[in-house]
């Protein structure tokens, strides 16, 4: 009998993906979606070898799958995440009693490349955040105010894009110069913002948001897109594409926020708290970035370097 293709009707019921996703209630929504897609992709691949249920998966099959992903030129970070999803899934299966042995318990994956994040220079940030001539039409003016508020807030508070898009009006305290965001693992944190970000947010909320709002717009959302829906990560990327003279990912503003704080003498644990990192080790990458910047400045300016 030939194996059923998983993508014909979705993963076989034996994989219990819906129940697995429900078990990830403590994870961020983006993580839950990614893990479900990763396990479903493996189930589809495994079905081609006649493996239709998790209790038929052996460790060698998992290793072959990771090797297959590598030959397909998936990035190391992507392969590492897919391996993490499979480890989480099979651990859950073992706890549920769906299989006797966890084949992914010691599954290793390639470490992500140690690439340093891009950091914008102060001159690049000035150009990016510089207010532009005001459009004459209401829609254009509203979009200009929104875009400036988005960029100012990303850099002022070092927010993740998902945190900015999920920001609610109750989380913005302009008089106290504080924003309250929900980060990874549904953890809430408060981050201070500076006067320029406050002014940009005031301009957007008072004179721009109402132009984009529709009767069915989410009333709590701080940022809206052109059709009145909550602003999404792709919308933020388009804002950067329009305003930045060079290709710039929104996350570069978060990297720049952290690096510039450390360059200015901020304590590493304070930066960890502001970024919402669970581990100090995650924040330490920015110390390496700062050292790289110091070396580059030294080499470029010292007469004997």
- The residues carrying an active-site annotation are 160, 184, 251, 254, 277, 286
Inter-CA distances, 67 with 17, 35, 79, 274, Å: 23, 19, 9, 38
Outline where the chain has alpha helix (H): 6-9, 17-22, 29-47, 59-71, 76-96, 122-129, 138-157, 161-165, 195-207, 209-212, 233-243, 251-263, 268-275, 280-283, 285-301
d(CA 200, CA 205): 9
Distance, CA of 170 to CA of 190 (rounded, Å): 12
Beta bridge partners of 180: 190
* Residue the block writes with tokens 């504080």: 178
Please state, in angstroms and rounded to a whole number, the distance separating the CA atoms of residues 156 and 257.
7
> Taking every pair of C-alpha atoms in the chain, what is the biggest distance, in angstroms?
76
CA distance 97 to 89: 12
Name the token pair of 73. Answer: 């030129």
Q: What is the rounded (10 degree) CA torsion for 203, 206, 207, 208?
A: 80
């Amino acid at each position: 009998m030939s194996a059923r293709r998983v993508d014909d009707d979705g993963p076989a019921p034996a994989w219990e993906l819906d129940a697995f996703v429900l078990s990830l209630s403590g994870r961020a929504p983006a993580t839950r979606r990614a893990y479900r897609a990763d396990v479903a992709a493996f189930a589809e691949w495994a079905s081609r070898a006649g493996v239709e249920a998790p209790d038929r998966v052996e460790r060698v099959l998992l290793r072959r799958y990771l090797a297959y992903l590598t030959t397909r030129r998936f990035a190391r970070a992507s392969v590492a995440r897919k391996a993490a999803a499979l480890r989480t899934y099979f651990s859950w299966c073992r706890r549920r009693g769906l299989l006797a042995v966890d084949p992914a318990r010691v599954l290793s994956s390639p470490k992500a490349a140690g690439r340093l994040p891009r950091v914008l220079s102060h001159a690049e940030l000035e150009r990016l955040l510089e207010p532009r001539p005001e459009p004459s039409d209401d829609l254009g003016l509203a979009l200009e105010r929104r875009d400036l508020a988005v960029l100012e807030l990303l850099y002022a508070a070092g927010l993740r894009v998902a945190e900015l898009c999920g920001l609610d009006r109750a989380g913005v305290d302009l008089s106290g110069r504080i924003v309250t965001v929900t980060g990874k693992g549904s953890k809430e944190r408060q981050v201070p913002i500076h006067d320029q970000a406050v002014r940009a947010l005031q301009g957007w909320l008072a004179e721009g948001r109402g132009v984009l709002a529709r009767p069915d717009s989410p009333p709590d959302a701080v940022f809206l897109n052109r059709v009145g829906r909550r602003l999404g990560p792709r919308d933020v990327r388009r804002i950067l594409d329009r305003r930045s003279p060079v290709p710039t990912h929104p996350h570069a503003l978060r990297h720049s926020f952290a690096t510039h704080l450390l360059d200015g003498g901020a304590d590493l644990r304070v930066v960890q708290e502001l970024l919402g990192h669970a581990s100090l080790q995650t924040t330490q990458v920015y110390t390496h970035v700062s050292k790289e910047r110091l070396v580059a400045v030294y080499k470029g300016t010292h007469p004997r370097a």
